[in-house]
A and B are shown apart, each in its own frame.
Chain A
Amino acid sequence: MEENDNKLQRTASFNSGMSDVVLGCVLSYVHDPRDRAAISLVCRRWYELDSSSRKHITIAFCYTTTTDRLRRRFPFLESLELKGKPRAAMFNLIPDDWGGYVTPWVREIAENFDCLRSLHFRRMIVRDSDLEVLARSRGRVLQALKLDKCSGFSTDGLFHIGSMCRQLRTLFLEESSIVERDGQWLHEIAMNNSVLETLNFYMTDLVQVSFEDLERIARNCCNLTSVKVSDCEILDLVGFFRTASVLEEFCGGSFNNEQSDRYNAVTFPPKLCRLGLTYMGSHEMPIVFPFASSLKRLDLLYALLNTEDHCLLIQRCPNLEVFETRNVIGDRGLEVLAQSCKKLKRLRIERGADEQGMGDEEGAVSHRGLTALAQGCLELEYIAIYVSDITNASLESVGTHSKNLCDFRLVLLDREERITDLPLDNGVRALLRGCEKLRRFALYLRPGGLTDVGLGYIGQYSPNVRWMLLGYVGGSDTGLLEFSKGCPSLQKLEMRGCCFSERALAHAALQLPSLRYLWVQGYKASSRSGRDLLAMARPFWNIELIPARRVVTTNQVGEAFVDEHPAHILAYYSLAGPRTDFPDTVIPLDPVL
């Protein structure tokens, strides 16, 4: 391409400064994907060097590119992460058959990616046949397999993995919907694997696993450091705990013999510092006390503790860095946390039960707890919190103290009629201005929670934020238009319960300079066909609609509920053209039609 002699000379002299070998050495230290992307833009040679040396790729949305493109550009890939369904799928908002099939990717991997050792599928549909193909073609080299919130497969597929992937260090199945036929898959791992380090089937419904197989794995795998299981009686795991001598992380289990003293005899492995015990109640809690002070990570999301229990336990955990629980912790518990856990980096307070009689009633977290937290835990990098009440002052407090905050997510629950201090315009502004490292931001309020001015503030004061979830913010299209004048780094935007018109949404999508992915549920539709959305039609921009649906869901005990789901819009940049694998529930918006 360089026809100009001068240019050629300059390029040549540039190149002679650094041979490919040297450049390759330097590149091997560069891992950040954005650095790598910048490097690949310098010139053709650097592009090719990056392509052949890139070890890991994350495809944030599987429909943005094709298997061909991946293979052509990064043929020597060692690690791949693929994400499918929109994040809303984690909240039961996306039809099960929406898409995100791994099959074409598995086929490509089986045929061409000879160096691939690590695979991570998140929110995708995986079939038993996919797992079989993977096991047969890559079984000898596969070291890590993560089926993260996936669905569509059974324990038969896992059997193939267990029997043929004998080099597996990591098997991760957390929160996947797996059809259980038997526990043979775990038995295969127990019989064939001696290098397993991480085993995770937490929050799956796999109950036919045998604890003897777990013990066998603990005995055979001398590097077994992290095990997270489904509901499996803790008393049955006593042997496992005794054998897994290097275990650092354990989550799951179950306490089915409530009030029993036999739990006192359970001893945990000596290096255990990351823990989460399902259904653990006040009575069983003391078994954690002996090593509570070495805990760095504690998961009480699925425990049965009340506010008082939380206070008692947290006091004993001064080294806590990561903590998750439900809002039963209460403001009182957060105050104890703020006093005791000065090293806290990540905190997640989830929403507990709404009904009476479930022991969570005292559980409500508000501005009081949030302020204490901000003032007490100065190392915080991640806060996700469901509050029942909020003030501007508490958000200002976060802005003042939480200087390391990268990720802030606040949901205002809808049970209280009166909120102390709305709208939150000023508090949000103070938070955004104070937390300069903020990359991810979620704000889920209610009508009146944030005015159009406040929405404008978000646009103005979030220079580095790449992902946002906004629920019930603003009051009119004006707010959205103000917002879209800012947010220079915003790549992925999710919105729910907006009062914005299709036209405003389309305009905003065109304005936001970095936007590559937009998801909206609940907006002012101008027609069933989504006509006005076509204002944002442009090359490489796919627009899809999931029209309003009525969904019947059945819970654990067979009760059926009918839910009205308003329409979704999903729009994204893609080099792959429109999807070709739509279910009935998804409609592409084609400007040509």
Chain B
Amino acid sequence: MSRATVELDFFGMEKANSSKSQFQKFIDRRRSFRGIQGAISKMNPELIKSVISSGSTNRSPVDWRKSFSVPSSPKEDRSSPVPSLPILNPALRASSEDSRETAPVTIFYNGTVSVFNVTRDKAESIFKLAVEGSSKNVESTDSLKVANPSRDQRNLLETRNGDLPIARNKSLQRFLEKRKER
């Protein structure tokens, strides 16, 4: 099994900054991975496992929550929001591997370490989840601070309403922020 590393350019830095020096690119990548690691560390391991193991049944990314504006798999008329979680079985995975190469992904979560061998597709879907989970409280770029505690809470425990938190009226939002300063 090859140990090819998967490099994913989340923030489009490759395209935007193709003229950047090698060193700069290295730093950028490291930053994005730090961000991803930070994000993955906030994710529920069961979810990650379900995404990974769904690859063993050869389906496209699992619709683990009502996904909005995300390409959906062909059999889309399921009414239940959460599919059943397939059990993670390394033996099964090994036998159903296709000819594509897999590489190890190491995940540190809540004091546990897990290592999975995944294909590139699977890795991308995990990272995508992580970015979506992390972008609500991004700390990988200097200019952004960690969001206030309640926003963290809301995003760690996935909201009942998936991607779309109830939007607040602009004036009221400003008032509530100003009130905190008084």
* Chain A residues within CB distance 8 Å of chain B: 88, 90-93, 175, 203, 278-279, 301-302, 304, 326, 350-355, 358, 411, 413-414, 417, 444, 446-447, 471-472, 475-477, 496-497, 499, 501, 521-528, 548, 550, 552, 555-557, 559-564, 566-567
Do B145 and A560 touch (CB < 8 A)?
yes
B175 interfacial by beta-carbon distance below 8 Å: yes
Q: Cβ of B160: which chain A residues have Cβ within 8 Å of it?
A: 414, 417, 446-447
* Chain B residues within CB distance 8 Å of chain A: 66-72, 76-77, 79, 81, 132, 135-138, 143-145, 147-151, 154, 159-182
Do A353 and B176 touch (CB < 8 A)?
yes
Do B150 and A355 touch (CB < 8 A)?
yes
Do B164 and A497 touch (CB < 8 A)?
yes
Measured CB to CB, the closest approach of chain A to B167, in angstroms, equals 4
The residue among B79, B159, B164, B165 with the most chain A CB atoms within 10 A of its own CB is B164
Instruction: Check A88/B167 contact, CB under 8 A, given A350-B172, A524-B72, A548-B69.
Output: yes
- Cα distance A351–B173 when bound, in Å? 10
Do B169 and A350 touch (CB < 8 A)?
yes
- Cα distance A499–B168 when bound, in Å? 22
Residue of B nearest to A476 (CB): B79
Q: Cβ of A411: which chain B residues have Cβ within 8 Å of it?
A: 166
Measured CB to CB, the closest approach of chain B to A513, in angstroms, equals 27
Do B135 and A564 touch (CB < 8 A)?
yes
What is the interface of chain A mostly: helix, strand, loop, or mixed?
loop
Q: Cβ of A567: which chain B residues have Cβ within 8 Å of it?
A: 68-69
Do B171 and A175 touch (CB < 8 A)?
yes
Q: Cβ of A497: which chain B residues have Cβ within 8 Å of it?
A: 66, 68, 161-162, 164
Do A92 and B173 touch (CB < 8 A)?
yes
Do B170 and A175 touch (CB < 8 A)?
yes
What is the interface of chain B mostly: helix, strand, loop, or mixed?
loop
Measured CB to CB, the closest approach of chain B to A187, in angstroms, equals 26
Do B147 and A559 touch (CB < 8 A)?
yes
Residue of B nearest to A354 (CB): B150
- Cα distance A526–B137 when bound, in Å? 28
A/B interface sample: 22 pairs, CB < 8 A: A92-B170, A304-B179, A326-B172, A353-B176, A355-B149, A355-B150, A358-B179, A446-B161, A447-B81, A447-B160, A496-B164, A523-B68, A525-B70, A525-B71, A527-B71, A555-B177, A556-B177, A559-B145, A561-B137, A561-B147, A562-B144, A564-B135
Measured CB to CB, the closest approach of chain B to A252, in angstroms, equals 12
Do A414 and B149 touch (CB < 8 A)?
no
Q: Cβ of A354: which chain B residues have Cβ within 8 Å of it?
A: 150, 154
Q: Cβ of A475: which chain B residues have Cβ within 8 Å of it?
A: 79
Instruction: Check A91/B169 contact, CB under 8 A, given A475-B79, A562-B135.
Output: yes
Instruction: Check A414/B166 contact, CB under 8 A, given A499-B66, A550-B135, A564-B132.
Output: yes
The residue among A326, A353, A528, A552 with the most chain B CB atoms within 10 A of its own CB is A353
Residue of B nearest to A357 (CB): B180
Q: Cβ of B145: which chain A residues have Cβ within 8 Å of it?
A: 559-560
Do A522 and B170 touch (CB < 8 A)?
no
Q: Which 3 A-B pairs have the closest CB atoms?
A: A91-B167, A355-B150, A566-B68
Residue of B nearest to A411 (CB): B166
Residue of A nearest to B163 (CB): A566
Measured CB to CB, the closest approach of chain A to B96, in angstroms, equals 29
User: Among A278, A447, A476, which residue has its beta carbon within 8 angstroms of that of B77?
Assistant: A476
Q: Cβ of A301: which chain B residues have Cβ within 8 Å of it?
A: 172, 175
User: Among B81, B136, B161, B179, which residue has its beta carbon within 8 angstroms of that of A414?
Assistant: B161
Q: Cβ of A499: which chain B residues have Cβ within 8 Å of it?
A: 66
Q: Cβ of B150: which chain A residues have Cβ within 8 Å of it?
A: 354-355
Measured CB to CB, the closest approach of chain A to B47, in angstroms, equals 17
Residue of A nearest to B11 (CB): A550
Do B161 and A472 touch (CB < 8 A)?
yes
Instruction: Check A563/B181 contact, CB under 8 A, given A355-B149, A497-B68.
Output: no
Q: Cβ of B180: which chain A residues have Cβ within 8 Å of it?
A: 358
Q: Cβ of A472: which chain B residues have Cβ within 8 Å of it?
A: 161
- Cα distance A560–B145 when bound, in Å? 6
Measured CB to CB, the closest approach of chain B to A548, in angstroms, equals 5
Measured CB to CB, the closest approach of chain B to A152, in angstroms, equals 15
Do B69 and A525 touch (CB < 8 A)?
yes
Measured CB to CB, the closest approach of chain B to A131, in angstroms, equals 22
Do B144 and A552 touch (CB < 8 A)?
yes
Do B164 and A521 touch (CB < 8 A)?
yes
Q: Cβ of B162: which chain A residues have Cβ within 8 Å of it?
A: 497
Measured CB to CB, the closest approach of chain B to A586, in angstroms, equals 15
Q: Cβ of B144: which chain A residues have Cβ within 8 Å of it?
A: 552, 560-562
Q: Cβ of B177: which chain A residues have Cβ within 8 Å of it?
A: 555-557
- Cα distance A90–B171 when bound, in Å? 8
Q: Cβ of A522: which chain B residues have Cβ within 8 Å of it?
A: 68-69, 163-164
Residue of B nearest to A202 (CB): B171
Residue of A nearest to B78 (CB): A476
Residue of B nearest to A203 (CB): B171
Residue of A nearest to B82 (CB): A447
Measured CB to CB, the closest approach of chain B to A390, in angstroms, equals 14
Q: Cβ of B137: which chain A residues have Cβ within 8 Å of it?
A: 561
Measured CB to CB, the closest approach of chain B to A443, in angstroms, equals 13
Do B178 and A556 touch (CB < 8 A)?
yes
Kindly list 16 other residue pairs between chains A and B, CB separation below 8 angstroms, not including A447-B161, A522-B69.
A203-B171, A279-B179, A351-B166, A354-B154, A414-B165, A444-B166, A446-B160, A471-B166, A472-B161, A476-B77, A497-B68, A524-B68, A525-B69, A556-B177, A561-B144, A561-B151
Do A91 and B170 touch (CB < 8 A)?
yes
- Cα distance A444–B172 when bound, in Å? 18
- Cα distance A492–B127 when bound, in Å? 39
- Cα distance A10–B79 when bound, in Å? 62
Q: Cβ of A93: which chain B residues have Cβ within 8 Å of it?
A: 167
- Cα distance A290–B164 when bound, in Å? 45
Q: Cβ of B173: which chain A residues have Cβ within 8 Å of it?
A: 92
